[in-house]
Amino acid sequence: MNLNLKNKTVLITGGSKGIGLSIAESFLAEGASIIITSRDAGNLEKALSHLTSTGFKSEHIKTEALDLSKSSDCNALYKKFPNIDILINNAGAIPGGNIFEIDEEKWRASWELKVFGYINLTRLYLKNMQEKKNGVICNIIGMAGIAPRYEYICGAAANSALIAFTQAIGGASVRSGVRVFGINPSATKSDRMETMLKKTATDKLGDASRWMELTTALPFGRMAEPSEIAHLAVFGCSDLCGYLSGTVINVDGGQNFNPPQK
Ligand SMILES: NC(=O)c1ccc[n+]([C@@H]2O[C@H](COP(=O)([O-])OP(=O)(O)OC[C@H]3O[C@@H](n4cnc5c(N)ncnc54)[C@H](OP(=O)(O)O)[C@@H]3O)[C@@H](O)[C@H]2O)c1
């Protein structure tokens, strides 16, 4: 299949690690140029050396260090790179915990990035894409939005809001030729997931180092690989999926209909 992504410019937030880095690799493999962002210039430097050491050309990769929980940084990113074809909203770092463990300060801080960061960048880039009558926005959200858990309450509520946001925006954006869709990953191998599973292992098993034991009851006896989310994101953004908008695709190995057995 020809995904026809050569000469496309793709902005991937949180592209220095985990799912975002895997999405970056997958777009590069299709001949696209990418811009990856994260807060830490060192993480971006590591990502760049990883990508170039696997054979991708540095002229196809730009990096930008900023904190997307600040609207001023969202505006600065747009100002520097206004002309993109595809936006992947992916940067997110909502901690696990129940309503008593996540106080108001932590709650608001994490939503500044995962909720308001997605909304702010969508507002900026959607306008530009609508004027060109072309573009795709893909929001990496999370299964907790449709399968909420008390122990991940802050993320569940954020994801649920972003699902509604994606559906409403993607329903209307097609009037001006722009597609907006989302992906809900379930547990996917990444630094963030390791941190969250270590907390659960501490709470449930009394030992953070036993976190891998929590993955064996998942579908296929494992977490999703970042590439399993990335390939779908790239395919969904391609012209081959030209009728995909206002939809959020669940990637959970069927877990929502078959919860792990105790
Ligand atoms: N992994 C999972 O199981 C899973 C499941 C469902 C949904 N998701 C969602 O998928 C997305 C990616 O998760 P992941 O597991 O791949 O996370 P990850 O490995 O921790 O990567 C997060 C990325 O976001 C960047 N980032 C964090 N805070 C930032 C900020 N304030 N401004 C800009 N960039 C920031 C990080 O870089 P710096 O630290 O350098 O800033 C990093 O590049 C998140 O939205 C997450 O909620 C993940």
pLDDT digits (tens, 9 = 90+) for 15-32: 999 999 999 999 999 999
Give every residue of the chain whose pLDDT is below 50, as ranges. Answer: none
The SS3 assignment for 94 reads coil
- Token pair 């953004």: residue: 237
For residue 107, the model assigns a pLDDT of 98
Task: Pull the structure tokens for residue 213.
Answer: 């034991």
The three-state DSSP-derived secondary structure of 96-137 is: CECCCCCCHHHHHHHHHHHHHHHHHHHHHHHHHHHHHCCEEE
Cβ atoms 184, 146 nearer than 8 A: yes
Count of C-beta atoms within a 10 Å radius of residue 22: 25
- CA of 227 from ligand 1 middle (Å) equals 15
Tell me: the pLDDT tens digits for 76-128?
A: 999 999 999 999 999 999 999 999 999 999 999 999 999 999 999 999 999 99
Rg (CA), the chain: 18
- Token pair 């592209």: residue: 15
Cβ atoms 126, 180 nearer than 8 A: yes
Residues 6+ apart with CB under 8 A from 136: 85, 86, 87, 178, 179, 180, 181, 236, 237
Helices 191-205/18-29 angle, 10° precision: 150
The SS3 assignment for 79 reads helix
pTM over 0.85: yes
| Cα–Cα distances in angstroms (integers) from residue 220 to residues 154, 186, 252, in the given order | 27, 13, 10
Please work out whether the CB of residue 190 comes within 6 Å of at least one atom of ligand 1.
yes
The SS3 assignment for 145 reads helix
For residue 57, the model assigns a pLDDT of 97
Residue nearest to atom 23 of ligand 1 (CA): 14
Cβ atoms 12, 90 nearer than 8 A: yes
| Cα–Cα distances in angstroms (integers) from residue 47 to residues 19, 52, 152, 194, in the given order | 12, 9, 29, 19
- CA of 14 from ligand 1 middle (Å) equals 5
Q: Which numbered atom of ligand 1 lies nearest the CA of 114?
A: 45
H or E segment at 27? helix 18-29
Q: Which numbered atom of ligand 1 lies nearest the CA of 91?
A: 24
Please work out whether the CB of residue 142 comes within 6 Å of at least one atom of ligand 1.
yes
| Cα–Cα distances in angstroms (integers) from residue 121 to residues 51, 117, 189, in the given order | 25, 6, 26
For residue 159, the model assigns a pLDDT of 98
Cβ atoms 214, 197 nearer than 8 A: yes
Residues of the chain with CATH 3.40.50.720: 9-188+225-248
Please work out whether the CB of residue 185 comes within 6 Å of at least one atom of ligand 1.
yes
- CA angle (75, 77, 82) in 5-degree steps: 95
CATH for the 9-188+225-248 domain, from 3.40.50.280, 3.40.1670.10, 3.30.360.10, 3.40.50.720: 3.40.50.720
